[in-house]
Structure 1
Amino acid sequence: MRRFRLADQVIEETAPNLQDLLADAYRRKLRPLCLCQEPCPAMYIAQVGDQYIVKRMPLSGGGHDPSCSSYEPPDELSGLGLLIGGAIQVDSETGMAALKLDFRLAKVGARSAPAAGTVGSDSVVGDSKKLSLRGLLHYLWHEAELTVWTSRWTGKRHWWNIRWHLVEAARQMTVKGGALSEILFVPEPFRSADKAAIEQRRTEALASALPPKNGPRKLMILVGEVKEIGAARSGHKLIVKHMPGFVFLLDESLHRRLQTRFENEMALWGADEASHLIAIATFALTPAGLAVIEEIALMVVAENWVPYESAYEKKLVDVLARTRERSVKGLRYNLPLDRPTATAILQVQPRPVGLYVVHPSADGAYEESLGELIASRPEFDCWIWRTADSEMPTLPVGQDNVPLT
């Protein structure tokens, strides 16, 4: 439980009058101080609808105690470190993140071919100056804190709160000077009893994707759970959960590149019925009201919505799902597969633990880079699973119903 200092008053986040105190502090532009450790990290108050939330200052997560829920592992341990200050520029006063994207949000004429080397929506380009489509999905997932898990949350993470956190995260991001939330579409949970109202809200939300009378067509960004990718009479179609009767069309060329680039994600999704496949795509509506995808990327997540990239990572994520201690899953963003990252961080006392999964294809250069990455964070303990050599080592924590060996 977090405790804050507001001016000369100490408050707990469970205090019954917390919202009144935060509203007053928000109007007075006071910064709360988190009392997790000394010196006390400064925070800020965000207004979300009629609620006030205490949030950590941008790039300050490492200044909190590892046991604090505001703690965040160093960006350098994931692909995020490469992007901060370039593709992602955070205003330290407001907490708003200005994003530079390497994909189009407007279209002139017929759908153009992707730039050379990008393979459509391929995100693994290692570019620090612009954010790929998959990199944007990773950043949204990270900022929505959907990479964070503790077994105390088992059974409490569903699409309605996934959607809420994604939309709220997007409110703190801008693209080309406009709010990302204005062009982001995340389908709301579908209930047959509310079908008419939901479809009306969807029509209103997608209005900006309709073609204008003249000039370039604006694209919107979809984030949704894949139900099916199948053949249409012409090309292929993406069916998203919570959108019955609504399809997104893909032409043959895009579908072929999708199957090639994201073959791994499709196979992982198919191998585990509890996992979810998340799509992020840019799209526009035709004059006839059909949704046509321009670019698309995929990400597979476990039953608890924590992402993973391989069967090895899935095994680790499953064990972490039963762990009482808080864990944070690392994401790759734009980094290529031959660049090491921390697969996850365990927030345990007295020192956090970096968890590293080394894939069988890792070579000497990878091992050298991994050693340098580990040495750069001496304040972390280290756990390494070299998958070519052994079964997964025991984690340095106890898990619910899983005794330590």
Structure 2
Amino acid sequence: MIGQVIVEDDDPEFNATLGEAYRLRDRPICLCCDKGASMYVAKIGEQLVIKRMPLSGGEHDPQCPSYEPPYELSGLGPLIGGAIQLDPANGLAALKLDFSLSKRGAKKVTGAPTQYEGPVKNEIRKLSLRALLHYLWHQGGLTEWTAHWAGKRHWFQVRSHLMDAAATMTVKGGALVERLFVPETFRLEDKAVIVQRRALALEDIRAPASGSRKLMLLVGEVKEFASARSGQKIVIKHMPGFPLMLEDGAWRRLQSRYAAALELWQANEAFHLIVIATFGMTPSGIAGIDEIALMCVTEQWLPIENAYEQRLVESLARLSLKSVKGLRFNLPSAQPMAAATFPHHRPSPVALYIVPPDADGGFKVALAEMIAARPDVEPWIWRVAEGEMPVLPVLSEFSTRQPSRS
């Protein structure tokens, strides 16, 4: 409902009504539930779209496309309002990063840490490099699996979703998409124009004669790691002839911090290894990595942390119902989160939790508190130490309904 008029997106006057609502800053009301849920009209590029208000995904009916599982079930919750500040006036998210997009003087290359233990500081949380990758994946809808994705996802689709997500984010007042490089699908017949576009995109990060230099963000798929005369080089798919150099010390730290992701990737040829890195260019045109993080994803590009999540995600991918993969963002591995959710499950959404075999008492207490805090979400728990993965809730429903259909 916009004003006092109920409209649908196939109405002939829908775009005009939307334009007027945007001009007057009217709040559309989603009628998915009895009390209605306030939304807003955002302008993304030249297109007007209706978006849910920040932190309001849980106010929508679970069957509504605007419904979103509670942020508290994943590592996204602690970041909203601090590291991620949402502006309903323009639909953009201002991000605070804990890494730099510029470099002055010598600095050792690092692998982005996977855990954040240590003293508690009274400061605004910031996005780590890994958390930014997770947020791009989440906002790009790449954590979702529906019947729409019955076929295989391809890199050009992944890239499109990532770029669309980045277009809704800002860093220090500037558009994130202007500092992000996601390689386009490489075609040999288009090599010359692709290389030319890449050179143009990276023109601003060539090292100046003096002073600080800009860094670029890369999100791509690792093709291989190869030894270099000094250090290691990372070859990115769709970027032939453009390796990124990594120092020996950084390579050793990367292998240690992301051992699980590397093991998963090496164990299954269908999996993809995603890299996010800040990098710059030397005066001679060599690309060097400043900071780096990794994420393993399945054949369907769904992120996984371990073999248990792999089994769960593969089971979810065989279903036609929508599921959403949970992500850790900045959360340490010792803290529980929902590995996935069924947001449109009836009569209530379902959060899927995995208790690893080495979980301690603190993990179990934190999980119980998380479940108790959201009585509106039905829990499903796989305690790995106790045996095989339980039957998924939707499969239980189908098994009870199937005889009546046959």
TM-score (norm 1): 0.91
Determine if contact 2:42/2:91 at 8 Å carries over to the other structure: no
Determine if contact 1:154/1:304 at 8 Å carries over to the other structure: no
Partner of residue 307, structure 2 = 311
Report Cα offsets for 1:117-140 as digits up to 9, x if no partner: xxx311321686111110111111
Q: Does 1:324 align with 2:320?
A: yes
Determine if contact 2:226/2:234 at 8 Å carries over to the other structure: yes
Report Cα offsets for 1:249-294 as digits up to 9, x if no partner: 1111111111111111011011122211110000001111111001
- CA shift for structure 1 position 308: 0.9
Partners of 2:391 and 2:10 lie apart in 1 by 35
- Residues 1-400 of structure 1 aligned to structure 2 (within 5 Å): 5-13=1-9, 18-19=14-15, 21-112=17-108, 120-125=111-116, 129-155=125-151, 157-347=153-343, 348-398=345-395
Partners of 1:323 and 1:229 lie apart in 2 by 35
Deviates more, 1:315-324 or 1:19-28: 19-28
Q: Counterpart amino acid of 1:398? A: L
SS of structure 1 residue aligned to 2:276? strand
SS of structure 2 residue aligned to 1:42? strand
- CA shift for structure 1 position 111: 2.9
> RMSD value over aligned CA atoms?
2.2
- CA shift for structure 1 position 31: 3.2
Determine if contact 2:109/2:246 at 8 Å carries over to the other structure: no
- CA shift for structure 1 position 102: 1.4
Partners of 2:17 and 2:268 lie apart in 1 by 46
Identity %: 55
In 2 relative to 1, CA 289–20 (structure 1 residues): closer, same or farther, beyond 3 Å?
A: farther
Report Cα offsets for 1:26-72 as digits up to 9, x if no partner: 34544332221122222223334443332222211111111112111
Q: Counterpart amino acid of 2:269? A: E
Determine if contact 2:103/2:214 at 8 Å carries over to the other structure: yes
Partners of 1:14 and 1:191 lie apart in 2 by 38
Partners of 1:369 and 1:187 lie apart in 2 by 40
Determine if contact 1:45/1:55 at 8 Å carries over to the other structure: yes
Partners of 2:21 and 2:195 lie apart in 1 by 39
Structure 2 gaps, min length 5: none
Partners of 2:236 and 2:298 lie apart in 1 by 17
- Paired residues in the alignment total 395
TM-score (norm 2): 0.91
Report Cα offsets for 1:83-120 as digits up to 9, x if no partner: 12222222233232222211121111223365xxxxx3
Report Cα offsets for 1:302-322 as digits up to 9, x if no partner: 111111111100111111112
SS of structure 2 residue aligned to 1:378? coil
Partners of 1:112 and 1:258 lie apart in 2 by 13
Partners of 1:190 and 1:26 lie apart in 2 by 39
- CA shift for structure 1 position 158: 2.1
Structure 1 gaps, min length 5: 115-119
Question: Which has more helix, going by share of residues?
Answer: 2
In 2 relative to 1, CA 258–38 (structure 1 residues): closer, same or farther, beyond 3 Å?
A: same
In 2 relative to 1, CA 110–271 (structure 1 residues): closer, same or farther, beyond 3 Å?
A: same
Q: Counterpart amino acid of 2:134? A: H
